[in-house]
């Protein structure tokens, strides 16, 4: 990135001159991303909807990307800028790894992403914010970790579960009631899809599982084996089983009252 800013500064997202605009720019926005840690790894998942104002801009957008072998980024906010930011982030991690012959630490990756979000502050002030969620497996500490961000690049580590995007309030509420710290991988993937279902239930900008078009949430798992994205069959399996249960209980699983 430093090389890029010396060599071709116009390629960097934060360095562009912004045209003067009146009001809010209409651009596709990504919505809900959720993450959950479990012993041995972390799950990061996102819904598939992008909205532009009150219009659904895209039904099958992909908002969760591998950053490198052991980490992934889920994006909420202005889709175009966020995708570019992720591309640059992936490039930077790979470049560092090749030049130095070693990977950045997970903290180092999280800090780097923080700087990139901060450099986008000017755009964020004009309504083009990017707020990602970063999850990875820390090979030094042997556990999955989640980092959440705000528009100014503020970084905070989340323990257990986290969500970002317009549906995050609802997703967080769902996860709060369902999360346990002894989940296994299958339970954790079910939990994130449940949370996304609840987010889609109450937030119009978040898309639920689309059975007719066979569009299901993107679910990724990062363990010490590295990054793995669940296949369409696997995620449709999870979504369908949740859907079947919700036909009987539309609000999802009940937590104990006391």
Partner 1 sequence: MSTPFYVSPQQAMADRAEYARKGIARGRSLVVIQYADGIVFVGENPSRALHKFSEIYDRIGFAAAGKYNEYENLRIGGVRYADLRGYTYDRDDVTARGLANVYAQTLGTIFSSAAEKPYEVELVVAEVGDTPEGDQIYRLPHDGSIVDEHGSVAVGGNAELISNYLDQRHQEGMTLAEALKLAVQALSRESNGTQRDIPAERLEVAVLDRTRPQQRKFKRIVGRQLSRLLDADGSATATTDDASDEEPSEEE
Contact residues: partner 1, CB under 8 A: 3-4, 7-8, 11, 69, 87-88, 91, 94-95, 97-99, 101-103, 139, 225
Residue 91 or 121: the one with the smaller Cβ distance to partner 1 is 91
Residue 94 or 237: the one with the smaller Cβ distance to partner 1 is 94
Residue 26 or 232: the one with the smaller Cβ distance to partner 1 is 232
For residue 215, the minimal CB distance to partner 1 (Å) is: 25
For residue 144, the minimal CB distance to partner 1 (Å) is: 16
- As to burial, measured by CB atoms within 10 angstroms (0-12 exposed, 13-18 middle, 19+ buried), residue 83 is middle
Residue 7 or 159: the one with the smaller Cβ distance to partner 1 is 7
For residue 101, the minimal CB distance to partner 1 (Å) is: 6
CA-to-CA distance for 193 and 133, rounded, in angstroms?
16
- As to burial, measured by CB atoms within 10 angstroms (0-12 exposed, 13-18 middle, 19+ buried), residue 244 is exposed
Is 51 designated active site?
no
Contact between residue 52 and residue 71 where contact means Cβ atoms under 8 Å apart: no
Residue 89 or 147: the one with the smaller Cβ distance to partner 1 is 89
For residue 95, the minimal CB distance to partner 1 (Å) is: 5
Residue 126 or 223: the one with the smaller Cβ distance to partner 1 is 223
Tokens (6 digits) for 232: 């369409």
CA-to-CA distance for 31 and 156, rounded, in angstroms?
20
For residue 11, the minimal CB distance to partner 1 (Å) is: 7
Residues with Cβ within 8 Å of residue 159, at least 6 apart in sequence: 37, 146
Tokens (6 digits) for 202: 């109450």
For residue 69, the minimal CB distance to partner 1 (Å) is: 6
Provide the annotated active-site residues: 31
């Amino acid at each position: 990135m430093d090389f890029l800013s010396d060599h071709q500064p116009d390629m960097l997202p934060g360095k562009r001159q912004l045209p003067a605009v009146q009001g809010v720019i209409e651009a596709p926005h990504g919505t809900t991303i959720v993450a959950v840690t479990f012993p041995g790894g972390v799950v990061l998942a996102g819904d598939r909807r992008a909205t532009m104002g009150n219009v659904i801009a895209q039904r099958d957008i992909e908002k969760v990307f591998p950053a490198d072998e052991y980490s992934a980024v889920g994006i909420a906010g202005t889709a175009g800028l966020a995708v570019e930011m992720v591309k640059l982030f992936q490039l930077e991690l790979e470049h560092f790894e090749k030049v130095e012959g070693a990977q950045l630490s997970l903290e180092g990756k999280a800090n780097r992403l923080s700087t990139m979000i901060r450099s986008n502050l000017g755009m964020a002030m004009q309504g083009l914010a990017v707020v990602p969620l970063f999850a990875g497996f820390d090979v030094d500490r042997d556990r999955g970790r989640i980092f959440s961000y705000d528009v100014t690049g503020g970084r905070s580590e989340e323990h257990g579960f986290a969500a970002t995007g317009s549906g995050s309030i609802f997703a967080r509420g769902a996860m709060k009631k369902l999360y346990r710290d002894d989940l296994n991988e299958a339970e954790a993937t079910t939990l994130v899809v449940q949370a996304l279902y609840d987010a889609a239930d109450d937030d119009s900008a978040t898309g639920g599982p689309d059975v007719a078009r066979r569009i299901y949430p993107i679910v990724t798992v990062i363990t010490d084996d590295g990054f793995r994205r669940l296949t369409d069959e696997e995620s449709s399996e999870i979504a369908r089983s949740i859907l079947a249960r919700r036909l009987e209980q539309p609000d999802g699983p009940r937590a104990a009252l006391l």
